[in-house]
Amino acid sequence: DAGVIQSPRHEVTEMGQEVTLRCKPISGHNSLFWYRQTMMRGLELLIYFNNNVPIDDSGMPEDRFSAKMPNASFSTLKIQPSEPRDSAVYFCASSKKGQGTYEQYFGPGTRLTVT
């Protein structure tokens, strides 16, 4: 299995620009999670989906952030407009209902730098 795939791996953009991060979960997994990692705040859950439906988006910091999951194999996290404080590593993870512990498998992350 290829694991969770994220793209791009690195993104450098200027303040005010739109940023789109992409995630392909492991085939057969029905839950998808977006996390953000910063030095100050550690790892935070932004939003997660079950069966392509957003369940909890209370971690999304502002209206500038939005996430979609149009089908079971693809999700996007969009920031518009981006700000320097959005600089972080964004991780996507997926898990499969019925596997007991619902272990989450993480992707390699996208390192976002907003200048």
* Per-residue binder mask for another protein (CB under 8 A), 59-78, x = binder: x-------------------
Q: CA distances (Å), 113 to each of 14, 54, 59, 68, 95, in order?
A: 8, 26, 20, 22, 28
Q: Does 110 bind another protein (CB under 8 A)?
A: no
Q: Which of 11, 19, 21, 35 binds another protein (CB under 8 A)?
A: 35
Q: Considering only the stretches 12-20, 49-57, 69-77, 79-87, report the one whose residues sit in contact with another protein under the rule CB under 8 A.
A: 49-57
Q: Which of 38, 51, 80, 113 binds another protein (CB under 8 A)?
A: 51
Q: Which residues in 74-103 contact another protein (CB under 8 A)?
A: 91, 93, 95, 97, 100-103
- Contact between 69 and 48 under an 8 Å Cβ cutoff? The reply is no
Beta-bridge partners for 105: 94
Q: Across the chain, where does the E strand assignment appear?
A: 5-7, 10-13, 19-24, 31-38, 42-50, 53-56, 65-71, 74-79, 88-95, 105-106, 110-114
Which residues form the interface with another protein (CB under 8 A)? Answer: 30-31, 33, 35, 42-45, 48, 50-51, 53, 55-56, 59, 91, 93, 95, 97, 100-109
